[in-house]
Amino acid sequence: MGVSGVFLKHNSPIQLTQAIHHVMAGEIWLDQRSAQSLAKAAIQQAENGPLPTFTEREVQVLRSVFEGLGNKEIGTRFGISEGAVKATLQRLFEKTGVRTRSQLVRIALELYRGHW
């Protein structure tokens, strides 16, 4: 998917510089808080059984999030309201056990690679 790192806007400029250097060196950068949330979600998912399946609409929205599109852009692309996009994202958050878009992208890359 071309993602080499996830950097959250609340991190310091020093951490941004470190992240850039790591990615430039071919490493993957993931914010520590995101990593902890993803690990918890992965453990919870393992305890809860098989991975949930996504609807066609959920896959469309998730792929659009990967592309960096906002809710309004996603809605326009698929001819649905921004509210429908938000509702779909909430279902994806619930199914994957995450709370943010960046966590959703990361968990999808880690756990769902090859499932859709």
Residue 93 is predicted with a pLDDT of 92
Confirm if 111 and 42 have CB atoms less than 8 A apart: yes
A 10 A CB-CB count for 31 gives 20
Residue 72 is predicted with a pLDDT of 96
CATH 1.10.10.10 matches 32-111: yes
74/110 Cα distance (integer angstroms): 23
Question: pTM score, two decimals?
Answer: 0.56
Residue 31 is predicted with a pLDDT of 78
Sign of the C-alpha dihedral, residues 63, 69, 75, 76?
Answer: negative
**Comparing C-alpha atoms, which of 111, 96, 110, 115 is closest to residue 3?**
110
pLDDT in tens, 89-112: 999 999 888 899 988 988 888 776
78/61 Cα distance (integer angstroms): 9
CA angle 75, 111, 108 (to 5 degrees): 20
pLDDT in tens, 40-56: 777 766 666 666 788 99
62/56 Cα distance (integer angstroms): 10
